[in-house]
Amino acid sequence: MPTKTKTPPKPAARVTAASTPATPMPTLTPEGLTAAAPGSGAGLLGAQAEAQAVAAVQSVTIGGLWTSNNQSNAYAYLNGIGWRHVSAANPVSHHAMLQILRLARDANLTAQCDEDGTNIHNVYVW
């Protein structure tokens, strides 16, 4: 009686930076505000953000929000600082931070965003 052999599993697809298009970023700014490129460190606390691993940006208002159809890809415009990416380290946290940022934007509330010059890692709304 012949024995059955299992076919080996197919190797998982690999995604490399060269094979994927760049993740989209916002190109416009809220009306009447000047923009700093995400990650440029320009703006009110730019020197602090570049000097520290994570800088606490206090008393900032949210000028705008931007997202695309890419998974966990959203940016918040911190007035006086510029566009910052909402961290996508955890999909549930990403969604929660985006909702808190939306609330702060809609109600014109001040927020504290712990960010590293590129990504927002924590959001507090008082």
The model's pLDDT over 59-89, given as tens digits with 9 standing for 90+, comes to: 799 999 999 999 889 999 999 899 999 999 9
Find the helix or strand (DSSP H, E) in which 125 lies: strand 119-125
For the chain, domains (ranges, CATH) are: 41-125 (2.40.50.50)
> pTM value?
0.63
Residue 88: per-residue pLDDT: 93
Residue 43: per-residue pLDDT: 44
Residue 7: per-residue pLDDT: 60
**What gap in Å lies between CA 48 and CA 44, rounded to an integer?**
9
Answer for the pair 110, 126: CB distance below 8 angstroms, yes or no: yes
Q: What is the pLDDT of residues 10-67, one digit of tens each?
A: 544 444 444 345 677 777 777 666 655 555 544 444 434 444 456 666 679 999 999 9
Strands (E), 11-81: 55-60, 62-67, 74-78
